[in-house]
Amino acid sequence: MVVKSAYVTHPRIIPDRMEDRVYQRVISEHALRENVLVVLPTALGKTAIAMRAMAEWVERYPNRSLLFLAPTRPLVQQHAHTIETFLNLPPPAVLTGTITPEKRKALFAPPQVVVATPQVIRNDVETGALSLDLFSMIVFDEAHRAVGDYPYVDIAMAFKRVKGGRTIGITASPGNRIERVREVMENIGVTPSGLEVRDGSESDVEPYRFGIAVEPVYVDNPRVIGEISGALRHALERRVAALGRYWRQPQTGEITTSSLLEAGRILQAQIARFKASGGVPADLWQANTQQAVAMKLNHAIELVETQGVNSLERFVERMRGPEKRRSPSTGNFLGDPDVRRALTLLASVRSEHPKIGKTVELVRDELVYREGGKVIVFAQYRDMAELLVDKLRSLSSPQIRPVRFVGQATKGVSDKGLKQKEQVAILEDFRNGTYNCLVATSVAEEGLDVPDTDLVIFYESVPSEIRYIQRRGRTGRARAGKVVVLLTRGTKDIASHYSSRNKEWKMKRMIEELKGTPVRAKPARTKSQLVLDNFP
């Protein structure tokens, strides 16, 4: 690839479109020599790296097409638009399951770029409707998903049998366990020499980084919420103790979601073993019910402490329904005396969770006083996303234009999902300013291309470093940005926040170990950093 100006010059790249960056050129040229896994912070052009490699690869193999995979339909549409904008090729063929297999075959004539969700490609490969021999290169966006039974794995394994095939994996966050990253690399056919990592501190990358200030904002629950969660915790402790000889809480004493899930796996394994040898003891079935009730109680505690009374009320309301349709664990939960005491207290609560008011305040201050500003609010639950949009709309301010952004699944009569076209339209309206506050669930965490978002608000913390990095990466793309993480003192919020931070640091150390570079010591945290964390 020859560069004659500040833009990339290549027969397959539209002139004066793609900025030439040294690190992108170096990595894309590496991708022409071997399979690579590119780990690069959000907004530093992972897609541009892939497109530079694709442009050269299609020159070398003009009789074969290129496949670009992305995990969600909005991402597929976004990548297709980007590819059409930058590459001098026929408009990409977009496959998301809405085109019949018969019609798909006509879309693959080379040289063509096919942008698709992996489920569609895996299904076509398994049925014989599609041969991966048609493709000379596959790009796996959000490549950290290439583990377990995710479709990326089957596609990559099948592509390994294609002669001369090349794979590129791109991600901002591969995970914090070395076993997981090795699994990703092995599954998509990348050796340690193919690991391309930049953290933004490199001299050729640093000029393109914009600062992201991460500010934890602490709130306190009213006293009655503590009484409600206290009653639910008492019920939870009784249920865990009732698991008896089949499972005992680890010595740490803390009952966590992961420990309860582990209890469920142990119980199911024992049930399967007893079924194979005769019959399941009655007390084992009872223990299984207790574990299911414990999961409901644990979730109820999280809702009331970190989300608010409205979230707990909706959770309980969904469980009530006709009594004859209730599962044993649901009936057990609703009939528990401590749960009944908690619900009696709940009925007397008139105040909202303090994070709701703080979110409205932060959005109002950002949009009313910053002309042209944009905000993304991340909320774990759809109920909360809907409530926050309602609260923001109730301000009746023309300067605040919120919209709810959720996944496609419809959950009940009152919780309608967004169809693919609706999602794409909302994102476009957010870009052009029709809306300036996107209240989103996890569907917006991966790959959302909104270059000028000024503020990102986490309504709750997330324990996953991958989700933390993805949420944070929705700002600081074209200029300095800010992230506010709302944390309720004395709740799961605090542990989740620092868990994700520690996991992110472990991820960076692990990648350095995989690359064989000197491992840096973890930086000391100053007193001021406990209030304001500045990321490079």
Q: Does 409 share its domain with 306?
A: no
End residue of a domain, out of 302, 323, 348: 348
Q: In what order do the strands lie in the sheet with 113-116?
A: 93-95, 113-116, 65-69, 135-141, 166-171, 36-39, 195-197
What is the model's pLDDT at position 508?
Answer: 77
14 within a domain of the structure (yes/no): no
pLDDT-based confidence at residue 56 (cuts at 50, 70, 90): very high
Per-residue pLDDT reduced to its tens digit, 138-197 = 999 999 999 999 999 999 999 999 988 999 999 988 877 888 888 999 999 999 899 998
| Dist. CA 234–CA 228, nearest whole Å | 10
Residues 409, 342 share a domain: no
User: pLDDT class for 414, splitting at 50, 70, 90?
Assistant: low
pLDDT at 38 over 90: yes
Predicted confidence band at 207 (pLDDT cuts at 50, 70, 90)? confident
Q: Which of 314, 348, 382 delimits the end of a domain?
A: 348
Same domain, 400 and 280: no
Which pLDDT score is estimated for 7? Answer: 92
pLDDT of residue 5: 46
Question: Residue 42 — pLDDT band, cuts 50, 70, 90?
Answer: confident
Q: For residue 527, is pLDDT > 50?
A: no
Q: Determine the pLDDT at residue 44.
A: 86
Mean pLDDT (whole number) for 361-385: 90
- pLDDT exceeds 90 at position 445: no
**Amino acid identity, residue 436?**
N
Same domain, yes or no: 122 and 266:
no
Q: Which comes out higher in pLDDT, residue 13 or 525? A: 13
Q: What per-residue confidence (pLDDT) applies to 502? A: 84
User: Does the pLDDT at position 266 exceed 70?
Assistant: yes
- Is the residue at 138 inside a domain? yes
Angle of CA points 416, 418, 419, to nearest 5°: 125
| Mean predicted confidence (pLDDT) in 273-277 | 86
Q: What percent of the chain has pLDDT over 70?
A: 88
Same domain, 171 and 184: yes
Give me the chain's average pLDDT, please.
85
Count the domains in the chain. 3
Q: Is residue 11 part of a domain?
A: no
Mean pLDDT in residue range 117-136: 90
Determine how many CB atoms are found less than 10 A away from the CB of residue 291: 24
For residue 486, what are the domain limits?
212-219+353-514+526-535
Same domain, 72 and 114: yes
**6 located within any domain:** no
Whole-number pLDDT of residue 529: 35
Q: Is residue 10 part of a domain?
A: no
What pLDDT does 528 receive? 33
Is pLDDT above 70 for 229?
Answer: yes
Residues 85 and 172 in one domain: yes
Last residue of a domain, one of 137, 170, 203: 203
Q: Considering Cα of 195, then 483, then 352, then 492, what sign does the dihedral take?
A: positive
- Considering the domain architecture, whether residues 122 and 148 belong to the same structural domain is answered as yes
**Does residue 323 sit in the same domain as residue 175?**
no
Can you give the pLDDT at residue 198?
A: 86
For residues 251 and 199, give the distance between their C-alpha atoms in angstroms, rounded to a whole number.
Answer: 38
Task: Look up the CATH number of the domain holding residue 157.
Answer: 3.40.50.300
CATH of the domain at 323: 1.20.1320.20
Residue 172 lies in a domain: yes
Distance CA 388, CA 267 (A): 39
Which of the four pLDDT bands, split at 50, 70 and 90, describes residue 519? very low
- 280 vs 106, more confident: 280
Residue 110, Cβ density class (10 Å: 0-12 exposed, 13-18 middle, ≥19 buried): middle
Q: Are residues 297 and 391 in the same domain?
A: no
Please check whether residues 316 and 395 belong to one and the same domain.
no
Q: Which of 258-272, 278-292, 439-453, 514-528 has the lowest mean pLDDT?
A: 514-528
Q: Indicate if 380 and 437 belong to the same structural domain.
A: yes
* Angle between helical axes of 151-159 and 118-127 (0-180°, round to 10): 50
256-261 average pLDDT score:
88
- How many Cβ atoms sit within 10 Å of the Cβ of residue 392? 23
Q: What is the mean pLDDT of residues 428-435?
A: 90
pLDDT given for residue 166 in this prediction: 96
Q: Does residue 16 lie in a domain region?
A: no
Q: How far apart are CA 195 and CA 144, in angstroms?
A: 13
**Residue (of 195, 178, 186, 184) closest to 144 by Cα position:** 184
The model's pLDDT over 66-116, given as tens digits with 9 standing for 90+, comes to 999 999 887 888 899 999 999 999 899 888 766 666 666 666 777 789 999
* CA–CA distance, 165 with 104 (Å, rounded to integer): 21
Distance between CA atoms of residues 428 and 405, nearest Å: 12
pLDDT for residue 216 is more than 60: yes
pLDDT at 152: 97
Distance CA 416, CA 409 (A): 7
By DSSP bridging, strand 455-458 and strand 533-535 are unpaired
Query: Considering the domain boundaries, does residue 17 fall inside one?
Result: no
Strand partners, 458: 378, 485
With beta carbons less than 8 A apart as the criterion, state whether 265 and 203 touch: no
- Show Cβ contacts of residue 48 under 8 Å, excluding neighbours closer than 6 positions: 18, 19, 21, 24, 86
